[in-house]
């Protein structure tokens, strides 16, 4: 297990002296609201227990050096050389964040260099936002060390900017907001247009419920392929319907959308319109009736991602349908799709039975073994030491 003490030790072993501080940021599960963020809609994620840790030490020069436990070689860059196309691979995340901090109001011309050591237990490629955990931890650490004083929403924008401009993935602000704004036992209700955020208690433990994560091990990547295509369809749909974003439409616009758009674009647009409604209904239902009552909305969200947005894969659909058939309150894919993880809202005492049923079903179909674990909605990014 990784914690602040381990992160300090790893830094000290690598650089030969103690770090000035340790910061960490979590991955996320999105409870509901998929692909709505870049359509200026609503999302409702929570932070998971797995985190990325950044230990930082100051330097006298203007070099940023990054070492990690997941790549053999350290990488370094002079602060004057930071640029979107200056780096590639995993280093694009930390260096991209450093570059984006300069773009969001931090004057880096007098900033001194830093040594960073990064370590993480957020699963990579599981749809649980390992990239946002890395961006958010680095953003928080550098913001504090350099005394930039940027607020957390701005740091979320910094992470998104790094991902869009440096990594090259056209993602929205969901993941970084979840990582930076979450609190324990709660989810973040974010309006991605106004960026108004509200932390809403989930009351899972009182209801004897937990979130089961089923990582199908089917790896996804958002810098390529389907994710960008879905975003382009949404933008084309909004343009054809005369709105600046799909956020401006509701169910009353669906008949006109069906007349104006081709079938595929219509179904993409219908997913966004209905998913925004489901997020609002989830938040209201949770407040009025508690988490046991939101299962149908999770199920409907999955059906919409499978049939209208077409971002699920057979392994994910199987995990969801088996969980539903074995007593889950509700289940859906979480994250951008094309692989990754499903989540199921499950009574605590049903966890072993649902897990076994999913494992058996995967074995029967000849799919690779999924990794199944429970998640506790956890604290957001913070300074640990």
Site of interaction with ligand GAF (CB under 6 A) = 30, 34-35, 37-38, 129, 171-172, 174-175, 222, 335-336
The nearer residue to ligand GAF, 192 or 350, going by C-beta atoms, is 192
Closest residue to bound ligand GAF by CB:
336
Q: Smallest gap, in angstroms, from Cβ of residue 160 to ligand GAF?
A: 7
Most distant CA atoms of the chain, gap in Å: 67
Cα separation, 23 vs 138, in Å, equals 8
Cα separation, 262 vs 221, in Å, equals 27
Q: Smallest gap, in angstroms, from Cβ of residue 148 to ligand GAF?
A: 24
The nearer residue to ligand GAF, 37 or 308, going by C-beta atoms, is 37
Q: How far is CA 30 from CA 6, 48, 155, in A?
A: 28, 10, 19
Give buried/exposed letters for 337-364 (b at 16+ CB in 10 A, else e).
Answer: bbbbbbbbbbbeebbeebbebbbebbee
Give buried/exposed letters for 1-30 (b at 16+ CB in 10 A, else e).
Answer: ebbbebbbbbbeebbeeebbbbbbbbbbbb
The nearer residue to ligand GAF, 30 or 210, going by C-beta atoms, is 30
Q: Smallest gap, in angstroms, from Cβ of residue 214 to ligand GAF?
A: 17
Cα separation, 283 vs 205, in Å, equals 18
The nearer residue to ligand GAF, 43 or 286, going by C-beta atoms, is 43
Q: How far is CA 162 from CA 56, 136, 153, in A?
A: 20, 11, 14
Closest Cα to residue 245, out of 188, 172, 335?
172
Q: Smallest gap, in angstroms, from Cβ of residue 175 to ligand GAF?
A: 5
Cα separation, 337 vs 268, in Å, equals 14
Q: Smallest gap, in angstroms, from Cβ of residue 48 to ligand GAF?
A: 13
The nearer residue to ligand GAF, 195 or 351, going by C-beta atoms, is 195
Q: Which among 37, 115, 143, 175 is annotated as catalytic?
A: 175
The nearer residue to ligand GAF, 35 or 326, going by C-beta atoms, is 35
Q: Smallest gap, in angstroms, from Cβ of residue 55 to ligand GAF?
A: 26
Cα separation, 362 vs 364, in Å, equals 5
| Burial grade of 236 (CB within 10 A; 0-12, 13-18, 19 or more) | middle
Q: In terms of DSSP bridges, do strands 341-347 and 330-334 run parallel, antiparallel, or are they unpaired? A: antiparallel
**Is residue 175 flagged as an active site residue?**
yes
Give buried/exposed letters for 109-132 (b at 16+ CB in 10 A, else e).
Answer: eebebbbbbbbbbbbeebbbbbbb
Catalytically active residues are 175
């Amino acid at each position: 297990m990784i914690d602040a003490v381990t992160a300090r030790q790893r830094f000290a072993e690598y650089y030969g002296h103690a770090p000035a501080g340790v910061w960490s940021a979590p991955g996320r599960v999105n409870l509901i609201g998929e692909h709505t963020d870049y359509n200026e809609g609503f999302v409702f994620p929570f932070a998971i227990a797995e985190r990325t840790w950044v230990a930082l030490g100051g330097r006298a020069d203007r070099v940023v050096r990054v070492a990690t436990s997941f790549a053999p070689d350290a990488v370094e860059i002079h602060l004057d050389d930071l640029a979107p196309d200056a780096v590639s691979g995993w280093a694009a995340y930390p260096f991209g964040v450093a570059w984006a901090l300069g773009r969001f109001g931090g004057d880096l011309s007098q900033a001194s260099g830093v040594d960073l050591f990064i370590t993480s237990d957020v699963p990579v490629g599981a749809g649980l936002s390992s990239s946002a955990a890395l961006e958010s931890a680095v953003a928080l650490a550098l913001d504090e060390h350099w005394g930039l004083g940027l607020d957390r929403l701005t740091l979320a924008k910094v992470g998104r900017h790094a991902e869009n401009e440096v990594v090259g993935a056209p993602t929205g602000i969901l993941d970084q907001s979840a990582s930076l704004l979450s609190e324990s036992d709660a989810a973040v209700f974010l309006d991605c247009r106004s960026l108004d955020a509200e932390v809403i208690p989930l009351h899972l433990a009182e209801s004897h419920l937990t979130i089961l994560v089923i990582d199908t091990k089917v790896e996804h990547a958002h810098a390529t392929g389907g994710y960008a295509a879905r975003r382009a369809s949404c933008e084309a749909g909004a343009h054809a319907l005369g709105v600046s974003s799909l956020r401006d439409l509701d169910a009353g616009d669906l008949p006109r959308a069906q007349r104006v758009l081709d079938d595929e674009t219509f179904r993409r647009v219908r997913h966004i319109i209905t998913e925004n409604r489901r997020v609002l209904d989830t938040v209201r239902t949770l407040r009025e009736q508690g988490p046991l009552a939101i299962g149908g909305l999770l199920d409907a969200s999955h059906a919409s991602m499978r049939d209208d947005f077409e971002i699920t894969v057979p392994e994910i659909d199987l995990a969801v349908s088996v969980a539903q058939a074995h007593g889950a309150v509700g289940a859906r894919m979480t994250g951008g799709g094309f692989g990754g993880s499903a989540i199921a809202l499950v009574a605590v005492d049903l966890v072993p039975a649902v897990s076994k049923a999913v494992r058996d079903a995967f074995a029967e179909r000849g799919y690779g073994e999924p990794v199944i674990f429970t998640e506790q909605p956890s604290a957001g990014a913070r300074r640990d030491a």
